Amino acid sequence: MKKAASLFLALSFLALNLTALDLKEAEKYKNSTFEKLIQDIQSRLDNPSLPEPELSKEAQDDHLKSDPRNYLRVSARDKKERTKLLELGMDIVEVRKDAVLGFAHYKDVQKISEKDFLILEKKTFYDWVMSALKDFPAADAAYHNYAETQETLKALAAANSDIASFFSIGKTIEGRDIWCLRINSSSKVARKSSKPGAVFVGTHHAREHLSNEVPLLFAAYLMDHRKDAEIKKYIETLDIYIIPLFNPDGAEYDVATGKYRWQRKNMRVNADKSIGVDLNRNYDATWCESGSSHSSYSDTYCGTGPFSEPESQAMKKFVEARKNLKTLQSYHSYASLIMYPWGGLYDPVPDEKDRAAFIKMAGKMGELTGYEAIQSSDLYAASGDTCDWAYAQAKIFAFTTELEGSSFYPGAGIIKNTVEKNIKAAVYLLSMTADPYKQ
């Protein structure tokens, strides 16, 4: 056997070991139902236990100390100032009335102060993490990691094999599969369907773990309620795709050491050895024009070109192969918002009928969740996101939901309530998928 081939095999085995649960663990997911998943989350909350971290305490500390980012609070009063900060590489994690909070690489901190922004507070990443979150909370193990998400989806497909199937839409840069559960009473895996299609995707951004739980538990909910008249009708008349963990490399990296790493991007090793491209800035819709950075070390880095990343390429191929798709929901956290295009432009979408449909659907989902419905760029402009591209490219009514919470790591106690209200909004979106213009 050639060296390269044996190395490849060895790496594949390693990858398998890293991603698969052992048989006993996988067995646990066999009869996944919504109620069981919620009970499991509760029992893990009540009996927190953590797997052995990959790194020793000292190595964790060293890793955090070597993070080149600073935590910042910067004066910013409107969407234009916030957009400018994103372009300067700031990773805005929270918007307040007169200021934004977030991270920036130390080189970007320099640029931000040179542009006359007032930096109200600045800490090293290490000091920030130490003050914000002392330890990886053991109860957060209740969140589903990559292997658990994979097993849950697989188990749901197996238990409902007449209407559900499980397939990969493509591989990440580190070679993980991006898993999709498809629900369709007459078509399976990647076979085409002429029924109107709906897509639910989570976790473009690695540290937004709550955005994996919502679509994952929604999948279980649909399977549990498959005999209910309303859900049954959607299963029979629609083509439903659920992709909870779009950036598994980043999500695994975020939790691998026993301390959260506040990872946002994917795990691309850039030319300058910095890590990651912002997958929600990498789509071909006014790519890298506003609210994103050309600097590879920035957290809002848009990549070397539109669709430079295997993850966004996988979504491109997925959408382009399915002309039947009508609605899309992309989950993020945390701002309690339901957002519609454009994100990359301050202008509203030009088609009045479409605009009215967007506003109506976002408004209704806002009522059902208690979140505020806005045009995406009202928060700040951000080019190259999933939803602008899906609408511009394929006329898909695409929404970004910013889930709730007071942090990217709001604890597992928030999961149940967040999931329940967002399921109502997701079911409503299904009700609109056949005819988004419906009154």
Q: Which residues bind Zn ion (CB under 5 A)?
A: 205, 208, 332
Closer by beta carbon to Zn ion, 238 or else 425: 425
Closer by beta carbon to Zn ion, 206 or else 432: 206
- The whole-angstrom separation of Cα 434 and Cα 296 is 41
Closer by beta carbon to Zn ion, 208 or else 224: 208
C-alpha distances in Å from residue 11, one per residue of 17, 39, 139, 174: 10, 36, 32, 11
- Output the smallest distance, CB 147 to Zn ion, in A: 23
- Output the smallest distance, CB 205 to Zn ion, in A: 4
Closer by beta carbon to Zn ion, 32 or else 290: 290
- Output the smallest distance, CB 265 to Zn ion, in A: 11
Please check whether residue 276 is in contact with residue 267, taking contact to mean a CB–CB distance below 8 angstroms.
Answer: yes
Dig out the tokens for 348 from the structure. 């509203």
412 DSSP assignment: G
- Output the smallest distance, CB 124 to Zn ion, in A: 24
- The whole-angstrom separation of Cα 252 and Cα 19 is 10
- Output the smallest distance, CB 260 to Zn ion, in A: 15
- Output the smallest distance, CB 400 to Zn ion, in A: 8
Output the residue with the shortest Cβ distance to Zn ion.
332
Smallest CA-to-CA distance from 134 within 286, 259, 279 is with 259
Closer by beta carbon to Zn ion, 195 or else 204: 204
H runs (alpha helix) in 33-141: 34-46, 57-65, 79-87, 106-114, 125-132
CA-CA-CA-CA torsion sign (57, 61, 62, 68) = positive
Dihedral angle of Cα 356, 359, 364, 366, to the nearest 10 degrees: 180
- Output the smallest distance, CB 123 to Zn ion, in A: 22
Q: Is the peptide bond before 342 cis (omega within 30 degrees of 0)?
A: yes
| Distance from chain centroid for Cα 339 | 14
Closer by beta carbon to Zn ion, 45 or else 387: 387
- The whole-angstrom separation of Cα 70 and Cα 322 is 42
Measured at the CA of 287, the angle between CA 286 and CA 288, to 5 degrees, comes to 115
Of 252, 402, 404, 420, the catalytic one is 402
Q: What is the largest CA-CA distance in the chain?
A: 64
- The C-alpha R_g of the chain, in whole angstroms, comes to 21
Q: Is 386 exposed, middle or buried (0-12, 13-18, 19+ CB in 10 A)?
A: buried
Closer by beta carbon to Zn ion, 238 or else 315: 315
Q: Is 372 a catalytic residue?
A: no
- The whole-angstrom separation of Cα 94 and Cα 402 is 11
- The whole-angstrom separation of Cα 61 and Cα 15 is 26
Active site residues: 402
